[in-house]
Structure 1
């Protein structure tokens, strides 16, 4: 344990010092950390080729995230060029009243994420639009980002199309729809509480800060630079429908990006080759208005390469941790205390969060956590649906809270708000974590298995009978 504590402590020290003190790239910190863990691996008797194999295996486990990230980058670039995102922003400013803007953001992002099954796609499309509308309404951007992420992760956890939902269910060895139904007992109350919080915050900020002249100025500027019409939203409708029909995410998002380039050529007066280039280099415009330029100059595969490097290096680091069994050793140190549903629930959430911190990727968390915690659930006869649910609460919902994780890097980069700035407003995550722990210690919605059959009575009844 002391060896693990030293290595992980040094890892955190390197990451924080590189980013907060020396302003060096996080990618470099993660790369150096590979060799830090390799030193421990060699000390434990592992051969170098085993350790390098662990790195490549870890990277391979999360390559889908890299591919999706590349496709989303291309999508953002062409959708701005094609007028899709500007049209979403224009009509959002036209329709949404400031007092219900935060609630509308939560609901819109939730619906988008439920329909598409991707929090990244939601943040990269609807999320960008809602951030721009929030800027126009003079809303605090970290608060808007919190509403965007609360909605995006809500849908991501519940959608049967979501890779995280499927992964959590498969690693816990439960059916996807059984996992989704178990999540409903937690997510519906959490969503209602979160909606109330954002509604209250919306009324608090709307009347005091909204500058309607700025809103009208932004709408006029968008109209001047783009052809704003309802049919500009056809590429967005296409992507939503295809994902809702359970078509594969990567080709669907890529096709949506191509659709955006075609729209830029047909309706925005761009040369098709230039429009297609925005898929790689992003959209570039110089309106002379700083706010507009900041809002629209983004996207492209090239703009995602830094995030791709972070994810690859983080996945490799997580692969090393898994190979050495570091998290499992940590859990074994307090395993004797895992004698109740409450303790097991709390421990699962902590392990999943630590897997995000040290594994640097949501995929690492959702793969490792069920593996590490499954035995504890089986000993207590707790149904694996609870394991899958708690793994998602601790893994999926906290992934955006870690600045050097795949989700933290992506969300901060797309939304233009630092991770530490938006974390206090990820209210859906905090409410869900609190409810999961309350359920664990009260026995509410904790199911168990006895004699090979699912039971719906609380675990405490079984404990008393035993």
Structure 2
């Protein structure tokens, strides 16, 4: 019986080149769905796996195992889709937009966007939920104030990912800590040494940008027009925000994410019936089909025609196919082989840090899902940290920097497709403004090569 072997670098490069070629041609040339490209790419890896001596049954099991690892993300995404649809119908999101236009001064708008999305993400533990609620509102306010939408998207994502990395309620935070075998709160404390200075720098950058774009001419007439349009379509009162307060409160009390978000979606449907005058069937239907409005104002139509579980099915398929692809890559040992080629150079904390970030980013590129990156990276890199007696907290932190913070940069990843679809801005347009991600990556590498906030353990502890 033929013994399965690891792939060579030439075999890996050929397979990954074919993968990138299919993905790029489908999305940039033929405008075919990325989901189909990912499905086809499964068979590139399967054929390579059979050639290497694996049985098909083993490869199919690797696909299902990879998908199983990300089922929680799929459940949360479905709940978020329902939440967006009913919260628009119930007036929650329109009320957030209205009061944002009322009280946020243009010159501090970008800083306010960063802060609001950060607080929401820390409290809820979900970047997707943050972008789907507060993020939508801030995009609408930014458009009303005349800000470039890619810049606003950058502030939204910087805030959303900041909280997603730090909140002990976040699935990515828990996953990174678990895979690196670190206590969640110890991981959060280790992240603070990087995230606090990165956040301060990012806040200064968005403050400066806010004064550049918002300190000049702002069409106040346009703002009043948008506020009036919202009041014409919805009942706008402070207490309409009650579902948002309840959901954030429950998540802050460490209630399970999926049922809490689903309960918030139910509250949105009730609000739509009681306060917005929708009939029961239509209100409940927004949870699946999303909210639909046909007004004479293009801004209103573009902003409010979204949400629903149905609108998330494309992202759900990307996650399923991406997780399956990642499962195949792990089975074949693709990233492990790539890392082994540079193993001799992993002789310092700086080189290991840089390698970890690169591996995590590549896992997003080829695994198409943040979960793939956060699962594979610690597994692949842990031996290098142990050999240098570097504390696993550093491994967990670097995995988050390279995995979580770059997940929205890949157009065909779960995060890239979700964020671009919800925010209405293409991935390549908003990536240059993901300033928190770039600052955090730079600081992590600086820490690695300077030894700043790099902790070491005794030899016996390092190999446990």
Q: Same fold by TM (over 0.5)?
A: yes
The one of 145, 152, 158 aligned to 2:153 = 145
What are the ranges of 5 or more consecutive residues in structure 2 without an aligned counterpart?
Answer: 1-8
How do 1:391-402 and structure 2 match up within 5 A?
A: 391-402=399-410
Tell me, yes or no, if the aligned pair for 2:353 and 2:398 is still in contact at 8 Å: yes
Aligned equivalents of 1:343 and 1:244: distance in 2?
37
> Displaced runs of 4+ in structure 1, greater than 4 A?
451-454
Q: Could you say which residue in structure 1 is the equivalent of 2:384?
A: 376
Q: Distance in 1 between matches of 2:434 and 2:265?
A: 29
Aligned counterpart, 2:5? none
- Match in the other structure for 2:59: 51
Q: Does 1:411 align with 2:401?
A: no
Alignment of 1:101-250 (within 5 A): 101-250=109-258
Q: Using the alignment, how far apart are the partners of 2:86 and 2:346 within structure 1?
A: 51
Q: Structure 1 CA distance, aligned partners of 2:338 and 2:369? A: 19
Summarize deviations over 1:172-211 as a string: whole Å, max 9, x none.
Answer: 0111111000000000000000000000000000134521
1:318 aligns with 2:315: no
**Cα gap change, 1:123 to 1:199, in 2 (>3 Å):** same
* SS of residue in 2 equivalent to 1:24: coil
Helix, strand or coil at the partner of 2:254: coil
Structure 2 Cα separation of the partners of residues 441 and 204 of structure 1: 35
Q: Does 1:67 align with 2:93?
A: no
Mean CA deviation greater in 135-144 or 306-315: 306-315
Following the alignment from structure 1 to structure 2, what is the Cα–Cα distance between the partners of residues 404 and 246? Answer: 31
C-alpha contact 1:139 1:209 (8 A) present in aligned 2? no
How many residues get paired?
Answer: 454
Query: Hey, what's the Cα distance between the residues in 1 that align with 2:418 and 2:185?
Result: 28
Structure 1 residues 204 and 46: alpha-carbon distance in aligned structure 2, compared to 1, 3 A threshold: same
SS of residue paired to 1:404: coil
TM-score, structure 1 as length reference:
0.97
Q: Are 1:443 and 2:451 matched, yes or no? A: yes
Paired residue for 2:371, among 354, 363, 371? Answer: 363
Deviations 1:40-79 (A, max 9, x none): 0011011111111111111111111111111101000000
Tell me the equivalent position of 2:398. 390
Any stretches of 5+ residues in structure 1 without a counterpart?
455-466
CA distance in 2, matches of 1:138, 1:252: 35
Does 2:29 align with 1:21? yes
Residues 237-264 of structure 1 deviation map (CA, whole Å, 9 limit, x = unaligned): 0100000000000000000000000001
Q: TM-score, normalised by structure 2?
A: 0.97
Residue number among 277, 281, 292 corresponding to 1:269 in the alignment: 277
- Summarize deviations over 1:6-54 as a string: whole Å, max 9, x none: 0001101110011001111101100100001111001101111111111
Q: Distance in 1 between matches of 2:418 and 2:59?
A: 28
- The corresponding residue for 2:362 is 354
For residue 439 of structure 2, give the secondary structure of its aligned residue in structure 1: helix
Does the C-alpha gap of structure 1 residues 453 and 335 become closer, same or farther in structure 2, counting only changes over 3 Å? closer
Mapped to 1, the partners of 2:306 and 2:143 lie a distance apart of: 16
Question: In 2, distance between residues paired with 1:323 and 1:48?
Answer: 12
Question: What is the Cα-based RMSD across aligned positions, in Å?
Answer: 0.9
Mapped contact 2:389–2:459 kept (Cα < 8 A): no
User: 1:93-104, aligned counterparts within 5 Å?
Assistant: 93-104=101-112
